[in-house]
Structure 1
Amino acid sequence: MSRNIFNDLSAALEALPAAFVLYDADEKIVICNDAYRREYRPFEDLVQPGISHTELQWLKVNEGLDSNAIGREDDFVRDEQIRHRTGPEVEEWQDDHGRHIRLLRARLPDGNVVGMRFDITDLRVAQEELKARNDDLEHARAELFKLANLDELTGLPNRRAANANLQELALTGVDANENLVVLQLDLDGFKRVNDELGHDAGDSVLTQVAKRLEQLLPDDGMLFRIGGDEFQFLLQGQHKATEALSLGNQIVQSISAPFIYQGRACEIGASVGLSISKGAVSDLDDLAKQADVALYKAKRSGRGQVAVFSKDMATEREKDLQIGRFLQKSDSSNVIELDFQPILAAKDHSILGLEVLPSWRNLQFGSVGYGRILPIAEGLGVGARLSLDALASFCEWNATRAEPTTPAVMMKVSEQLLAHQELFSALAAYDFPQNGMIFTVDAEKLRYLDGDRLAWNLEGLRDMGVRLGFEGVGARTTFGVLQAFHPQSLTLSRDIAAAVDDHQNAQGLVRLIVAQAAVLGANVVAKGLQNRAQVALLADLGCDYVQGDVIADRVAARDYDTQQIKPVREA
């Protein structure tokens, strides 16, 4: 090799950003650059062509240049010889100075070995920084996902996650032998917890609700919190309608048990809407909407119930929404019409009272029964106003008669009226019948009202001669609720009264309610009776009063003075 070429080669090697060395077949250095020599500081002057690889390793050992050799000198040298001869083409390690070193080794056909050592410390630091940044990004992404898809309070997936899950199912499809079930539930009376005990109490109750619901969640199901006090179950598998309905009833029963916050029992309830697919579903979003429609039905039917979606529910709800929009815009006092249904003694069928049955008439919707329109008004927060309108219509009718009605008068009102802040100023202008009135409400709904305001109003109503009656008393009515409010009358749930002549369980339940009424000093009323066998049987079971078209016709207010009320319908 000419001197010029050698000089050029040496200059090129010195310019390399790495330590370079060439060993011959006898493992002696042929050429190396200054970067390689500096690896052996302060003895770099000894690193010259002709020195063997083994001599260099003993230099490390004798001068303490590598801590890995301490106490194992012979083994260290032997290991380094093996690595030089048979080691991998690429190696990386961290030296005693904390540097990260990468060695590239190439064995040539003539036995020579070329080695290059790179200090990759800066690269490793950059990689670690990049990894840390990636970790931070992943953590931030995970946190964003949680914020976007998980409810912070309960830890459950939220509405966004529920919608995304439905969209994924729509893309992947559902097996032909599987179906989907959506159970949508809404807490009844939860607002009272927030209003009376504060939002901390509400948060605690929601967390406890989530835990109870998770315990009921089937293995193939998912649970979401889709709103403030709304939750949703999504089940995928081979589910029968009866199984889904059973789960809905378990949910209602579980939530009805008291929740404890700071030693105080908080009582709420739950209503459940259920929809179930039959085979493949073309629009999964519709399934969730159907469950929501069924939930509306459950709440309108008295709460604490499970409703299974049917097609007529959607039509019914749309009409209710139209009625609701009209109610919010209009004064309904001039469209209330009144009918009366006699209440008879169960034993001798003598007329002991009248129930006022208001209806709401509108040119667009025709006549809408009080039983339908009152829940709509309550859902809009105007139940008290509608009850006052109906009450005003009755009092005006009664005041115009030459001989005001003497039988006791019973009338269903919204529970919102009983908790109304301006109740007594609103009632001041009304002249009640001499025998007073009984305001009836759904038994379970009073649990969810402002307790202090309700107690104050009920006491004032008693002073006015207005007594309290409970409607819909049945298996879900706790004796604690009855004791808390001391109603004058207990009206049996209509499904119990209708089943009493066919089912022993219904008869046993009637006996229990009659016994509870005796403790409270209340009367038991059975309404909506369909045949004379039911009338006779309920009388034998201890009911005090009976009512129904089978034993006495209802009479319109305008015909009350001219149409004779028949105490007993002939067989």
Structure 2
Amino acid sequence: MTAELNGRHRRALPDALLALQQQRFRQILWLLMGAFGAVMLANASLGRWTSASIELAMLGPMLLAYWWNRRGHLVRAAWFLIVTLMLGLTVLMVIGQGLFDEAGMAYPALLVFAGLFGNRRLLLWFTSMMVLSFISVYLLDVSGLMPHSPLPVGPLRAFNVCLIVTLSGFFVWLIVSDLRRVLTRLESEKLALQASHAQIEYLALRDSLTGLPNRVSAKEQLKRLLMDSADSPQMVAVLLLDLDNFKTINDSLGHAAGDVLLCQVADALGMCVGNSGMVARASGDEFFILLGGVQTQDSVDDMVGRIFDTLEQAFPLDGLDVPVTASVGIAMAPGDGNDASTLLEHADMAMYRAKESGRNTFLHFAPDMAGGAVEDLKIASRLRLAIAQNELQLHFQPQIGLRSGRITGAEALLRWQHPEWGLVAPARFIPIAERSGLITVIGDLVMQQACQAARAWRAQGLGELVVAVNVSPLQFQRGNLEAVVSAALNSAGLPTSALELELTESSLLADAQHLSAALQRLSSTGVHITIDDFGTGYSNLGYLRRFAVDRLKIDQSFVRRMCANPHDEGLVRAIIEMAHCLDLQVVAEGVEDAATRARLAEFGCEFGQGFHWSPALPMDAFVAFVRAHPAQGLQTH
């Protein structure tokens, strides 16, 4: 049973607490052996050999208990020692002065000892045994079997009483010091736990990078602002601010620099808004600004103006002064919604419309934005199915050599023929495809279909026509466009000279360093590179010299008006002359009449496309058009 109790005790106590109890047991044993040795010597000096012999005999069990304790059997040693001490003290009482004997005074100290090293059952058991021993001594006394009488008070009795009190005090001191230590540790753990909870709460409600309140905290604050303004004529405004072109900074300077910029912007917004509202980080490069107690919409617009003025001050970053612009969407309660979720959603819609409007601007939420968002979601969902069901098809608009009149190639234009909606305009679904990430899948599909079409043209004897494919900036950002182009050409068995890639100026500026290297590699293989819609973007001559570009494509908005508007004609002529100075060929799109074609040829423009010759045609119709064209043949680039 003892071994079993000892095993349970060890399992119940942590190692540190068990080691402390073993240490305390050793200390008490040394003190007890010293006390019994001193009493034994005192009794022997007075000739009380019986008491001295009993006290000497008790030293043996104490040594055995000490050995068991060193072996890790604490409970066994405690039981054994307490039983030995109780029997020894009882015998001393019986042969001594009975209930008058000072040995009885040691019982309370023995109970403290049992409480320190035993368990509740051990303590109750020994309490009962001690009470029975007192009753037994009393009965022996009153029955006359072993009467006792008090001896005169002497030095030995005083010594024994002082020794018992000292031992009892030592036991109590051990209990109090250990209890104080436990309480101190518990208080320390309580403080640590409170600090941990505070840190967890901070992390749950704060952004770890900027230290601003996070989205959860902002939403709770917005709820409080709405409750406070429920019975007030004042309004609540939610501003969602998104940094423009932040990805370019991350890609060019690194994410560490991007994090530094976010912290700088957070500090700048906080100083700009001050105590008039809350600035929170929504996610990534998006920030919330919550304003309560708003009197008029103009005051919100003034705040946005101050924010834009603040951001216009360039931020120092890695030795550069980096300018920052932002797109801001605004939703206001109660006009745009009465609950936090609705206002946040409407601010998000307005922010995306601001981005679509050219960025570096702000827009207030309007009801038609919600309808447009639902429609966009419906188109994005249906577009995935359209890809799987081959509803997306290519049409081809011929490109004509202006001097020879020959068909040199065609631009592949994507069309979506929905079974219920009819023909969905590319301007409607292409931006949605870009926002949803589907553009990369669609781009790969277009590249494959265009190359297969060019192979079919050659197999049908139409000549070495070049197919032009529009490339989205996201396809370059994904980083595998070169592999996609190579796979499409190899699958169709086409030479690289049969493919032309058309990119807009804005895509060239999005990630200039990466694009320059990629375009250089593609151009070196023989793939033609064309800048599409030239004149509507930055029109930066430095970029034209830097990139491996073969042709410029003048935007149709200029070409269509050139015969009616001298300014547009001058602009078209200037673009053509500039391109020739840079050894670039020119394609004019949007040619709709013979007069425009003649003027373009007069200015030296090499190629044209437009309704003057043909709109974009399905595959079979395009083949028929080429075969019927009077000047059918190949005009080399």
Query: TM-score, structure 1 length as denominator?
Result: 0.56
- Which secondary structure state, in structure 1, belongs to the residue aligned with residue 623 of structure 2? coil
Instruction: Say yes or no: does 1:287 pair with 2:348.
Output: no
- Per-residue CA shift, 1:253-283, capped at 9, x if unaligned? 949x7x6543468798755445567857434
Residue type of the alignment partner of 2:212: L
Contact 1:374 1:383 in 2 (8 A): yes
Q: Name the CA shift for 1:548/1:449 in 2 (closer, same or farther; >3 Å).
A: same
- Which secondary structure state, in structure 2, belongs to the residue aligned with residue 558 of structure 1? helix
Instruction: Say yes or no: does 1:413 pair with 2:479.
Output: no
Q: State the Cα distance separating 1:559 from its structure 2 match.
A: 1.2
Which residue in 2 is equivalent to 1:131?
none
Unpaired runs of at least 5, structure 2 = 1-190, 631-637
How is 1:102-501 mapped onto 2 (pairs within 5 angstroms)? 147-173=203-229, 182-187=238-243, 189-191=245-247, 193-194=249-250, 198-211=254-267, 213=269, 222-234=278-290, 236-240=294-298, 243=301, 247=305, 250=308, 254=312, 261-263=317-319, 270-275=326-331, 281-283=337-339, 285-297=341-353, 309-325=365-381, 332=388, 334-342=390-398, 354-363=410-419, 366-401=422-457, 402-404=460-462, 409-418=467-476, 419-420=479-480, 422-427=483-488, 428-431=490-493, 436-449=498-511, 451-452=513-514, 455-456=517-518, 458-471=520-533, 474=536, 481-490=543-552
Query: TM-score, structure 2 length as denominator?
Result: 0.51
Q: Name the CA shift for 1:199/1:527 in 2 (closer, same or farther; >3 Å).
A: same
- Per-residue CA shift, 1:171-202, capped at 9, x if unaligned? 12289986665443434554565566543222
In 2, the alpha carbon distance for the partners of 1:137 and 1:220 equals: 35
Q: State the Cα distance separating 1:406 from its structure 2 match.
A: 5.5
Q: State the Cα distance separating 1:420 from its structure 2 match.
A: 1.2
Q: State the Cα distance separating 1:357 from its structure 2 match.
A: 1.0
Q: Name the CA shift for 1:363/1:449 in 2 (closer, same or farther; >3 Å).
A: farther
Q: Name the CA shift for 1:545/1:252 in 2 (closer, same or farther; >3 Å).
A: farther
In 1, the alpha carbon distance for the partners of 2:267 and 2:560 equals: 37
- Which secondary structure state, in structure 1, belongs to the residue aligned with residue 491 of structure 2? coil
Aligned residues: 434
Residue type of the alignment partner of 2:468: M
Contact 1:252 1:271 in 2 (8 A): no
In 2, the alpha carbon distance for the partners of 1:321 and 1:502 equals: 41
Q: Which has the higher strand share?
A: 1
Structure number with larger C-alpha Rg: 2
| Alignment root-mean-square deviation, CA | 5.7
Contact 1:151 1:157 in 2 (8 A): yes
Q: Name the CA shift for 1:268/1:390 in 2 (closer, same or farther; >3 Å).
A: farther
Contact 1:275 1:290 in 2 (8 A): yes
Residue type of the alignment partner of 1:558: D
Q: State the Cα distance separating 1:393 from its structure 2 match.
A: 1.7
Contact 1:252 1:269 in 2 (8 A): no
Residue type of the alignment partner of 1:338: L
- Per-residue CA shift, 1:390-420, capped at 9, x if unaligned? 1222222232232336665433122233331
Contact 2:465 2:498 in 1 (8 A): no
Q: State the Cα distance separating 1:226 from its structure 2 match.
A: 0.6
Q: Which one is further off, 173-182 or 313-322?
A: 173-182
Q: State the Cα distance separating 1:233 from its structure 2 match.
A: 3.9
Q: Name the CA shift for 1:498/1:137 in 2 (closer, same or farther; >3 Å).
A: farther
Q: Name the CA shift for 1:183/1:299 in 2 (closer, same or farther; >3 Å).
A: same
- Which secondary structure state, in structure 2, belongs to the residue aligned with residue 163 of structure 1? helix
How is 1:93-104 mapped onto 2 (pairs within 5 angstroms)? none
In 2, the alpha carbon distance for the partners of 1:252 and 1:403 equals: 63
Q: Percent sequence identity over matched residues?
A: 29
Q: State the Cα distance separating 1:459 from its structure 2 match.
A: 1.8
In 2, the alpha carbon distance for the partners of 1:540 and 1:162 equals: 63
Contact 1:300 1:375 in 2 (8 A): no
In 2, the alpha carbon distance for the partners of 1:488 and 1:297 equals: 35
Q: 1:558 aligns with which of 612, 620, 626?
A: 620
- Which secondary structure state, in structure 2, belongs to the residue aligned with residue 154 of structure 1? coil
Q: State the Cα distance separating 1:297 from its structure 2 match.
A: 4.4
- Which secondary structure state, in structure 2, belongs to the residue aligned with residue 403 of structure 1? coil
